[in-house]
Amino acid sequence: MKITLSALLALFSLAALPCAQTPAVAEVIVPCTQPAPPNSLVAQPTLPLTFTDPGNVVVMEMESQEPIGGWVEESIVSGYGGDSYFRWNGPDLFQTPNQGTLTFRFEVSTPGTYLIRQHVRHDDPDSSMENDCWARLDGGDWEKLFHNGGAAGVGIWTYNSRYESTNDFPKHFLNPGVHTWQVSGRSKNFKIDRIHVLPLSVWLADLSDPQSDVLRDRPIIGNQMSVEIDDPTDVAAMTPAGTLTAWYFGPIGPGYPCGLPTPFGELLITGPGGGVRVGPYKLWLGPGIPNVHTVTVPNDPVFVGFTLITQSVMIDPNRIVFGEGLELTIGNI
């Protein structure tokens, strides 16, 4: 049975009313009594990668990007966070920004004034040399972002980069949603390790903070959403190149967050016939090679705020295995 998400939603009563801004959510559901293969249903990350702020702070490592232009990835000098840092190995570009541009996407959930603090280093004995890059927020004007703390600031990692135009840390009012921070090469050998976006109330960037979670694809009206179905650790021992995967949808059932025990695992989805399949079956080639299933969320505000339960299903010639679930709340942001 093949059915569109729009037709599926029409099968169920819609209790939700559209709101001005309703965030879309995709949250993993783990069966209560009958374990499913771990990571058997996950939302794909949005591309380019978008980092979220569950703790009201966003941390983005340089190595989350591919080094382009004159950027090179290194781990020579200690004191950096994550696995490495980037060094600008291109020419001095004092008058020409937007060369070797790296774009970092991040999402904030609370409106307010935020600091953007880069963890940087410069090693030239002259503290005014090799100490800056170009930077801009949300496609605005490029600004020189520099660090010059005198001789004491040479040869150490610091979070004290400032805009030349204001001689102050980058401070910007941000509305909820996705924003972009871009850096491009300016001074040869300038090093950047990571970027912190944090409210003024936090102020200090902490090198021990891990990189933020990546925003996963979500059901936003008028957009596509993709998930990956897999048994990456081969828990179920299904037949490679002989197993079909499917993605099933249904409304929240009376036993939520638990499902119905069956010989095939815990059935999380409910509705007519135990839920309906959206899209075609796909042939699974083996552990670590996920199948991607995609739906288009209807561009109709009547669906905003409606929640569905979805679940992965794997079928080989001998058996069926129910996977983990995703609870999807349809939103407009």
Find the CATH number of the domain harbouring 193: 2.60.120.260
Distance (Å, whole) CA 243 – CA 221: 32
Domain annotation covers residue 205: no
Count other C-beta atoms under 10 Å from residue 63's C-beta.
Answer: 19
| Among candidate residues 168, 199, 230, the one where a domain is terminated | 199
Distance (Å, whole) CA 146 – CA 161: 5
> Is 2 a residue whose pLDDT tops 70?
no
For residues 68 and 195, state if they share a domain: yes
For residues 271 and 174, state if they share a domain: no
Count other C-beta atoms under 10 Å from residue 230's C-beta.
Answer: 25
State the sign of the Cα–Cα–Cα–Cα dihedral 163, 165, 168, 173.
Answer: negative
DSSP conformation letters of 81-129: STT-EEEE-S---SS---SS-EEEEEEESS-EEEEEEEEEE---SSTTS
pLDDT of residue 111: 92
pLDDT of residue 332: 87
> Is 289 a residue whose pLDDT tops 60?
yes
310-320 tens-digit pLDDT: 999 999 998 99
pLDDT of residue 270: 75
> Is 268 a residue whose pLDDT tops 50?
yes
CB 200 within 8 A of CB 171: yes
For residues 110 and 80, state if they share a domain: yes
For residues 149 and 108, state if they share a domain: yes
Residue with tokens 């993605």: 247
pLDDT of residue 1: 46
Q: Which residue has the higher pLDDT, 276 or 86?
A: 86
Q: What's the whole-number mean pLDDT along residues 115-134?
A: 96
Query: What tokens appear for 328 in the block?
Result: 């999807």
Find the CATH number of the domain harbouring 275: 2.20.130.20
The verdict on pTM exceeding 0.85 is no
Beta bridge partners of 102: 183
CB 244 within 8 A of CB 283: yes
pLDDT of residue 51: 94
For residues 62 and 191, state if they share a domain: yes
For residues 85 and 190, state if they share a domain: yes
Identify which of 227, 313, 317 has the alpha carbon closest to the alpha carbon of residue 276.
313
Backbone phi, psi, residue 311, to 5°: -150, 145
Q: What is the total residue count of the chain? A: 333
Q: How confident is the model at residue 3 (pLDDT cuts 50, 70, 90)?
A: low
* Cα end-to-end distance, the chain, whole Å: 30
Distance (Å, whole) CA 175 – CA 111: 5
For residues 79 and 182, state if they share a domain: yes
Whole-number average pLDDT of the chain:
91
